[in-house]
A and B are shown apart, each in its own frame.
Chain A
Amino acid sequence: MKRRTFLNLAIVSGLAGTASALLYPVLRYLLPPEEAEAEPETVKAGPEKDFAPGSSKILKFGRKPVIVIRDLAGGFHALSATCTHLDCIVQYRKDRDLVWCACHNGNYDLSGKNVSGPPPRPLDRFEVKLVGSEVTVLRAA
């Protein structure tokens, strides 16, 4: 190897090494540390009397929002409240008895199935149980 080639190589690799030694910590600094996901098995949604037929409530299940719906016939449903399209939070539409996302007009039925609009996947389902008179949401088995 010629002396010049060797020196060029040494300079370039030295610069590359310095640049990566500077950039790596900056890049890692910018990426927030992963937080351990709180994974509760059940979450209390409140007393049954708070849920009139045709009403809904959004609550936190771990870090994710879950929508608890009491349909017009009185049945309970719990679904992930995060729209599978682009992350907006859905709402229960009493007038159409379905779950609607206002952001891009996505619709789901009460079982969470995406029925129209842009959502690509159904909403995750949760179980609802009445423990005494308390509405309780459980992770689906």
Chain B
Amino acid sequence: MSALKDAALSWLEERLPLRSAMEFASHKRVPVHRGDVFYYAGGVCMFLFLLQVATGILLLMYYRVGSDASYESVRYISAKVPFGWLMRSVHSWGANLMVLFIFIHMFSVYFMKAFRKPRELTWLTGCGLLGLAMALGFSGYLLPWNELAFFATKVGTDILGQVPLVGHWLLRLVRGGDEVTGATLSRFFGLHVAVLPALTALGIGAHLLLVQVQGMAHEHEARRTMPFFPDFLVRDVALWLLVLNLVGVLAVFFPWEVGRKADALGSAPAGIKPEWYFLAQYQFLKLLPGRVGMVPGELLGIVALNGVGVWWLLTPFWDAAVPERRRDAVVRWAGLGAITLLTVMTVWGHLS
């Protein structure tokens, strides 16, 4: 048996350098310390992305796109197709958990200062992946064509329309017309099932390549390390299994509702709110008055929100510009400030 295995391996080895890849993996080590549990967050994000791809493909078997078909097909999936409710709920919960784990991963990288030179590109690709995850969430949210989705899309795309000079052009590009209609649904569908997943897969590839090339941050300062393969990977996979169970439990006990069908002549229902990961921005936009001096409030709000996003994206660069003795403190307080603000605005948005 083992002779057969060796023969098969050497046949492969001559065509694909598997042993050298395993050799490379065997040298990779992961620091062991008090905060090392956060190292697993990135892997969970990737696992959840794969789960989204799998359930997304399954949903595609029954989903139909169009303002007269989407809502009906989602209801059909949830009510008639065996385990359709499960696939849909796993997809919805998986999406929410993926965004949550991206936030956990991002903030842990931030507080471990693992974005510093030479890992600026890893940080930038990671931020890009967060943007893609939120775009996936936003575009997928419209696909059931229900009331909440309809208004979320109206508001979200109208924000694009506020961009000076090219706003109207962008709005028509995204909506496929002046209003949110079946044309918007078609575009969001194409983005959600083809463009954004492809970009995300490429982004994950680049992100992982950078991690492999540079190794773990603080690997050489750590007093103890463990081999990535198999020790760390086994723990990774065990956690993925736990997360899969968590998604399953959430999907069974808190299945996602289909809601009411979108109606272009219906008023926005009372209590309408975006998904939790847009609540902070939503609450901020709600607080701004119609005009601040000469500037429309919503324009000011959108500029401010984008400014905060760019500031966060550029973390490795402003961090490098801070004098070294104050650098750690500045990063820590800026991060704590960001988490506090985000949490307060999200909770406030949820309660108000």
Residues of A bordering B, CB below 8 Å: 30-32, 35, 58-60, 63, 65, 67, 81, 83, 85-91, 101-105, 114, 117-121
9 additional A-B residue pairs with CB within 8 Å, beyond A120-B298, A121-B290? A32-B183, A60-B265, A67-B267, A86-B154, A87-B157, A87-B158, A88-B155, A102-B270, A120-B290
Q: Give chain B residues whose Cβ lies under 8 Å from the Cβ of A117.
A: 286, 290
Selected A-B contacts with CB under 8 Å, 18 pairs: A31-B169, A31-B172, A32-B176, A32-B183, A60-B265, A65-B264, A87-B154, A89-B265, A90-B267, A102-B267, A104-B155, A104-B286, A114-B290, A118-B288, A118-B289, A118-B298, A120-B291, A120-B298
Interface assignment of B266: CB less than 8 Å from any CB of chain A: yes
> B286–A89 contact, CB under 8 A?
no
Nearest-CB distance from B266 to chain A (Å)? 7
> B173–A103 contact, CB under 8 A?
no
Q: A91 and B172 in contact (CB under 8 A), knowing A102-B272, A103-B272, A120-B298?
A: no
> A63–B179 contact, CB under 8 A?
yes
Q: Give chain A residues whose Cβ lies under 8 Å from the Cβ of B173.
A: 30-31
Nearest-CB distance from B161 to chain A (Å)? 8
Residues of B bordering A, CB below 8 Å: 151, 154-155, 157-159, 161, 169, 172-173, 176-179, 183, 264-272, 282, 285-291, 296-298
Q: A91 and B267 in contact (CB under 8 A), knowing A31-B172, A32-B183, A104-B286?
A: yes
Q: Give chain A residues whose Cβ lies under 8 Å from the Cβ of B296.
A: 120
> A118–B290 contact, CB under 8 A?
yes
Nearest-CB distance from A77 to chain B (Å)? 15
Bound-state CA distance A104–B154 (Å) is 13
> B155–A102 contact, CB under 8 A?
no
Nearest-CB distance from B297 to chain A (Å)? 6
**Nearest B-chain residue to A37, judged by Cβ:** B178
Bound-state CA distance A112–B95 (Å) is 40
Bound-state CA distance A119–B287 (Å) is 11
**Nearest B-chain residue to A57, judged by Cβ:** B265
Q: Give chain A residues whose Cβ lies under 8 Å from the Cβ of B288.
A: 118
Q: Give chain B residues whose Cβ lies under 8 Å from the Cβ of A114.
A: 290
Bound-state CA distance A90–B287 (Å) is 18
**Nearest B-chain residue to A87, judged by Cβ:** B158
Bound-state CA distance A13–B159 (Å) is 37
> B268–A89 contact, CB under 8 A?
yes
> A35–B177 contact, CB under 8 A?
yes
Nearest-CB distance from A27 to chain B (Å)? 9
Bound-state CA distance A87–B270 (Å) is 15
Bound-state CA distance A63–B175 (Å) is 15
Q: Give chain A residues whose Cβ lies under 8 Å from the Cβ of B151.
A: 88-89, 103
> A58–B266 contact, CB under 8 A?
yes
Q: Give chain A residues whose Cβ lies under 8 Å from the Cβ of B266.
A: 58, 89
